[in-house]
Amino acid sequence: MPSPAPKKRRGGDDPPPSSSDSEEGTTSSSSPSNESGTSESSSSGDDESENDGLPEQEQMKDVGGDEDSSSGSVSEEDEGVETNESTTISKSWAALTTHSPCYTGGSVIFSHPPSPSSSPSTSAHEQQHFILAQRGGDVAVIEASTGLLLRTVRKGRLFQGANDLSGDYDENEDAADDEDDMLDADDITAFALSPNNIDLVAVTRGHLVQKYSLNRSAVIDAEDKPAIKSTDEKEDRANHQSVTSISDPAKITFTFGKSGHRLPVTHVAFHPSGVFFATGSVDGLVKIWDVRSGYATHALHPTSSEVSGNRGRYAVTCVEWRQSASSLILAIGREDGSISIHDLLLNAHDTKKASMPLTVLRDHMSAVTCVAWSTEAGVGFNPTVSDAARGSRRHGGGVFFSSGRDSVVNTWLISEEESREPEPPKKKKKKTSKGDRGSPLSISYRRIRTLPVYEQVESMLLLPRRFRPTPDTKAQNKVLDRKDVVLATCGTKGVVRLWKATPGDKDSGAQQILSDLTPLLSETEGDAFGEENGGYTSLHLANVSTTHKSPLLVAVDAEHNMTFLHAQWESADAKLEFTKSRTIVGHNGEILDLSVIPSVGPSEQENDHHTIAIATNSSQVRLFGLEHTKEDEEDDSKVHTALSPRGLLDGHTAIVLSIDTSPCGRFVATGSKDRTMRLWEVATQKCVAVATGHTEALGSVALSRKVGCYDVGGKVAESGAGAFVVTASKDRTLKIWPLPGSAVLSQWSEGKGDNSLRARLSARAHEKDINIVTVAPNDALVATGSQDKQVKLWRPADLALHGSLKGHKRGVWDVQFAPHDRLVATASGDRTIKLWSMSDCKCLRTFQGHMQGVLRVRFLNGGLQLISSGSDGLLKLWTIKNNECESTIDAHDDKVWALDISPCGGALFSGGADSKIAVWRDTTKEREDAARDAEEQNILMEQRLSNHLRHKQYEQALELALELEKPNQVLKVLTEIVEKDAKRNEIVTLRKHAASWSVDVLKQILRYCREWNTRARNSHIAMLVVKAVVTTVPAVKLASYEGLPEIMAGILPYAERHFERLDKMVGNSYLLDYTLFSMGSLHGSNTDSYNEWLEKSKYLLPPSEAEGRIQVGGSLIVHGKTTEETDESEDEVLTIGTAESDDGDDESSSGSSSEE
């Protein structure tokens, strides 16, 4: 497939606007229509007011008025509009992957690794690896192996993925749910994940404590699925509803109520047992909660008496449990630098005493950020403690670490000694709780080491052995011994460091138990995040997927990125290094522009490997790559596609507004608000050239499109025969900058020579801001679009004006050249896309459909189609030949500023003001193949259905008709079944079927019955089916099925109407019977023929005579006289009632008639 046209660029007034850039016609926070209207009103208010006064449809007609004169010219239109029948027209695109904001700052929690006691037979793909991160006032669930945002705790899945073209989350759809649950409306300020990786405890800004379940309830509908017979089967079913496979919001399983804190809760920590959790607040209070009872068991206050006067000084900065399920030891760090150590098992019978700290450590001079107990065997072992006491209660392995913003890491020795106090006089023994056990130990913490780190430590981790590189040689063993204690720290300088300490002799003094912490490994200057960017905020240990054979160290930085680091040995050398595995970008900000970088080499035609450059409302340009990762190495079907960062282009001093890439894939040009254009080499990610000369921000840049020109250098390049860059600025000028050739640019990247570019030509192009500049595929023309509603074509050789395209009613946001034909497509704020002929500058086609301004347009399928994006957040696919919109993709929640297509045409990239990047793939062929296969299968099944009906195999025919969703065939089959049962005056077969129908089939058939019941001739079958259902399935069960009561309610009104009609018909039939019966008296004495007719007649109820009245089995009363009682009563009443009759009555009635 031919390459698409070169990429368009954004204008100088792209969002977000700056106060210093508030020039005439420059606004971006409103819709494009308003933007254009605002800018145009300054100089052409009469035009705007004239257009705004017209109805919307008339304005659209005026916009397309220019093509009327040109559409009659067949030769011009056929020049680029005629399609090639052999080319498949694209009709559908599906999301391949999306990169949505998943982390906006705050807490980050990784799923807990499987416990050592878990079964080794558990398959790798059943292990859940996910990340919980704060996303605004919600909590995002992120897939750890790919970095994809799966869902949020409160709203569920935000993007449905590849099978839904309109898969964006609509906040309006959940408005009713939010109103129903006002308790869930406040932002979540702190949360913690239970060790079972299922329960999540969250505290809101309104101090409400709630427990969520991250997977679906284990309750299985007994009617839909077979009963669970064993615990293993229950666990297997639970695996199918894992945290990472659910798209629904998390369910609130329990509400603890108000937290009792007076200020916001900032920390929540679960005990390793999952039974208790702690909440810490800015007011300095820490509360312990029991998950089982739902109540707070302890309140741990700061020990100072000055708390009430200066509460903020004692704000909780860290809460950490000792990682042992058999103890309840808790450390609380506060803003004043103190650390309170609590053992809740001491004095368990007395809550007040148990809430008092064992000791308070006050050696830090600033806020304490992290604490950790050493779990390494042999460190800090105290042989004076008896085995009984040690078995009952031990504080870790004897060493405790703490770090703070005072730039130090302290090492504390834990001493546990048996109490030697004299025994008091014997008294009557009191019952003690199981957790008290007499408290035979005296526990103390003593600082033995202080390590100056020379940066504010924001996070510290104690690395278990499985997180360390394993030494294989003696030299490596000298660097890192198995017994060494390893710490990882990070802070404001943005460098991850590893420290080690070697355990000493157990019999030595306290100072010799553990050596000083010495540097083991640190990030290099090039790999570190850096202090100028804000540094790191936290460190985590994580097993992210089964593809990683060893766990990783994850560093979270101030720009909300999560970097995965792996410490490993450099080949056989005794030297460690950090290897960056990948990075999850938590938040990009507003996407202003993006461009696909063509691949260099044989992978150019592959859709699996793409690199894109993205301008993200910052001075940096981010490079992302489309990568595929396997969830399981042995299962190729479970492959995830995700965008992963591949680097940064850092050099501008202001926001980057526009990006363009060279067709050879070696260079990227960027334009910024700092009034410069920079040229970058993709391979080295270095700036190779800088162009200065504009007096205002550069709104758009474009590189020449001929691949071979980039190797041209020397005077030939300076004369304009080589590659060049075109820049357009808010100063309304257009400049052309020749490039010196790839050889010279490579030297410039190494720092050799002056890398400044000089403008060869410059011209004032428009009267208003220039929004876009683009270059034709053959470099013969340059097109510019402006807020003055015009598109101008220029010859790059001398910047002479080739022609102007006039016809838009608002500013032009994008211009694109067709890849092969002499056509130009333009997108405007007037909500239209126009197709122009370059030969005579006339409009050939106008495409209308966007609800707001159109911001971007691209050619597809060699110029046969267009795809556009607008301020309404929609992407639209157009076919040029018939002017029809083939598909509308609801891709974004805000303006779609960025749009580009891969060189092979198989992937589409879009980015918008909602910070979302979406990757789309063409699914037209797949859908056509699927439709063709479905049609073939449908024909086969219809033939089978016909065969079953012909052979009167109604049971098989009913199943096929339901599967094919053919109501008429289902009605025909059910009619045959009913007629078959009518011979036995029963509906046995129908009831048999109803008993075997699943819930979905029941709903399907009852929906059909609801439709059939609207017509009198089908109501009989519908009512018999309903009767079979309600007499076979219990009413309680039917009422419990979702949606079924509503269907039954829809059947009821027509059913009542039909019964009224039948009841009236039956009543009328009784009168007919009576009339026919009374006609027997007209025969006189000759009653033979009448009796013969009477024997052959079938009355609804046989006539009878009782108490002088003739009864013919109805409810209608008819007045009349009998022949025998005429003299007794002149007004004898003959009734058609419901009185019971017997054979004797029938005979007497017949005899009476004969006598008459």
Per the listing, tokens 């427990």 go with 211
pLDDT of residue 976: 84
Asked if 697 contacts 745 with a C-beta cutoff of 8 angstroms, the reply is no
pLDDT of residue 29: 37
- The residue from 1006, 1024, 1042 where one domain ends is 1042
pLDDT at 487 over 90: yes
**Cα–Cα dist 447/400, whole Å:** 9
Q: Report the amino acid identity of residue 258.
A: K
**Residue 396's domain spans which residues?**
363-419+440-568
pLDDT of residue 6: 43
pLDDT at 786 over 90: yes
Asked if 200 contacts 191 with a C-beta cutoff of 8 angstroms, the reply is yes
What is the pLDDT averaged over residues 24-36? Answer: 36
Phi, then psi, of 591 in degrees rounded to 5: -85, 110
Local structure of 802: helix, strand or coil: strand
**Cα–Cα dist 679/683, whole Å:** 13
**Cα–Cα dist 123/121, whole Å:** 6
The residues near 274 (Cβ < 8 Å, ≥ 6 apart) are 194, 195, 196, 199, 291
Nearest to 615 by CA among 555, 655, 578: 655
pLDDT at 646 over 70: yes
The residues near 142 (Cβ < 8 Å, ≥ 6 apart) are 102, 103, 130, 131, 132, 133, 148, 149, 150, 584
pLDDT at 1081 over 70: no
In a domain, 349, yes or no: no
Band (pLDDT 50/70/90 cuts) for residue 629 is: low
In a domain, 528, yes or no: yes
Which DSSP category does 5 fall into?
Answer: P
Question: Do 729 and 847 fall into the same domain?
Answer: yes
Nearest to 8 by CA among 575, 728, 857, 695: 857
Question: Do 1105 and 1088 fall into the same domain?
Answer: yes
Per the listing, tokens 């859709």 go with 607
Q: Report the amino acid identity of residue 268.
A: V
**Cα–Cα dist 33/50, whole Å:** 15
pLDDT at 685 over 80: yes
754-765 pLDDT, tens digit each: 788 999 999 999
Band (pLDDT 50/70/90 cuts) for residue 50 is: very low
Bigger pLDDT: 566 vs 395: 566
Tokens of 813: 């946001």
**Cα–Cα dist 792/794, whole Å:** 7
pLDDT of residue 1086: 64
β-pairing, 832-837 vs 843-848, is: antiparallel
Per the listing, tokens 């607008």 go with 870
Max mean pLDDT range (8-12, 38-42, 516-520) = 516-520
Per the listing, tokens 């766990």 go with 551
**Cα–Cα dist 169/167, whole Å:** 6
Angle between helices 999-1012 and 1044-1078 (to 10 degrees): 40
Per the listing, tokens 């960017």 go with 533
pLDDT at 393 over 50: no
In a domain, 269, yes or no: no
In a domain, 187, yes or no: yes
Question: Do 506 and 392 fall into the same domain?
Answer: yes
How buried is residue 888: exposed, middle or buried, by Cβ count under 10 Å (0-12/13-18/19+)? middle
pLDDT at 545 over 60: no
- The residue from 568, 599, 626 where one domain ends is 568
In a domain, 850, yes or no: yes
Percent of the chain predicted with pLDDT > 70: 71
Question: Do 751 and 623 fall into the same domain?
Answer: yes
Asked if 594 contacts 897 with a C-beta cutoff of 8 angstroms, the reply is no
The rounded Cα 593 to chain-centroid distance in angstroms is 22
Band (pLDDT 50/70/90 cuts) for residue 116 is: low
Local structure of 1037: helix, strand or coil: helix
Count the neighbouring beta carbons within 10 Å of the beta carbon of residue 157: 18
Question: Do 902 and 931 fall into the same domain?
Answer: no
**Cα–Cα dist 1050/739, whole Å:** 74
**Cα–Cα dist 1017/1061, whole Å:** 12
**Cα–Cα dist 909/611, whole Å:** 11
**Cα–Cα dist 1092/1154, whole Å:** 12
The residues near 588 (Cβ < 8 Å, ≥ 6 apart) are 99, 101, 614, 616, 622, 915, 917
Which DSSP category does 292 fall into?
Answer: T
- How many independent structural domains does the chain possess? 5
Average pLDDT, the chain: 77
Local structure of 312: helix, strand or coil: helix
Bigger pLDDT: 865 vs 348: 865
pLDDT of residue 895: 93
286-319 pLDDT, tens digit each: 999 999 999 999 999 987 644 444 445 789 999 9
Band (pLDDT 50/70/90 cuts) for residue 829 is: very high
Count the neighbouring beta carbons within 10 Å of the beta carbon of residue 387: 7
Local structure of 427: helix, strand or coil: coil
The residues near 865 (Cβ < 8 Å, ≥ 6 apart) are 89, 90, 859, 877, 878, 879, 880, 886
**Cα–Cα dist 420/442, whole Å:** 9
How buried is residue 1080: exposed, middle or buried, by Cβ count under 10 Å (0-12/13-18/19+)? middle
pLDDT of residue 64: 37
Question: Do 773 and 760 fall into the same domain?
Answer: yes
Tokens of 667: 């260079």
**Cα–Cα dist 891/99, whole Å:** 12
pLDDT of residue 515: 87
Local structure of 1138: helix, strand or coil: coil
Residue 309, CA distances (Å) to 20, 305, 306, 356, 871 in order: 45, 9, 5, 21, 53
**Cα–Cα dist 357/330, whole Å:** 9
Asked if 544 contacts 564 with a C-beta cutoff of 8 angstroms, the reply is yes
How buried is residue 69: exposed, middle or buried, by Cβ count under 10 Å (0-12/13-18/19+)? exposed
Count the neighbouring beta carbons within 10 Å of the beta carbon of residue 172: 6
pLDDT of residue 725: 94
In a domain, 277, yes or no: no
pLDDT at 1102 over 60: no
The residues near 105 (Cβ < 8 Å, ≥ 6 apart) are 134, 560
151-191 pLDDT, tens digit each: 899 988 765 443 343 333 343 444 444 444 444 578 999 99
Per the listing, tokens 């710490």 go with 487
Question: Do 911 and 938 fall into the same domain?
Answer: no
Question: Do 1016 and 1073 fall into the same domain?
Answer: no
Bigger pLDDT: 17 vs 293: 293
Bridge partners of residue 1118, in order along the sequence: 1134
- In what helix (H) or strand (E) does residue 848 lie, and over which residues does it extend? strand 843-848
Nearest to 572 by CA among 479, 472, 482: 472
Question: Do 776 and 638 fall into the same domain?
Answer: yes
The percent of the chain in helix, strand and coil, each rounded to the nearest 5, is 25, 35, 40
User: What string of DSSP letters covers 517-541?
Assistant: -EEEEE--TTTS--TTTT-EEEEEE
**Cα–Cα dist 758/735, whole Å:** 10
CA atoms lying within 13 Å on the CB side of residue 149: 31
Going edge to edge, which strands form the sheet with 485-491?
457-462, 485-491, 497-501, 518-522
Q: H helices within 519-602, ranges in order?
A: none
CA atoms lying within 13 Å on the CB side of residue 436: 12
- The residue from 240, 258, 276 where one domain ends is 258
In a domain, 398, yes or no: yes
Question: Do 598 and 744 fall into the same domain?
Answer: yes
pLDDT of residue 332: 96
Local structure of 307: helix, strand or coil: coil
CA atoms lying within 13 Å on the CB side of residue 245: 13
Per the listing, tokens 């399920």 go with 325
How buried is residue 1151: exposed, middle or buried, by Cβ count under 10 Å (0-12/13-18/19+)? exposed
Bridge partners of residue 679, in order along the sequence: 669, 689
List the CATH number of the domain containing 882: 2.130.10.10
In a domain, 1016, yes or no: yes
Question: Do 651 and 713 fall into the same domain?
Answer: yes
Handedness of CA 526, 531, 534, 536 (dihedral sign): positive
pLDDT of residue 708: 85
Question: Do 909 and 936 fall into the same domain?
Answer: no
Local structure of 737: helix, strand or coil: strand
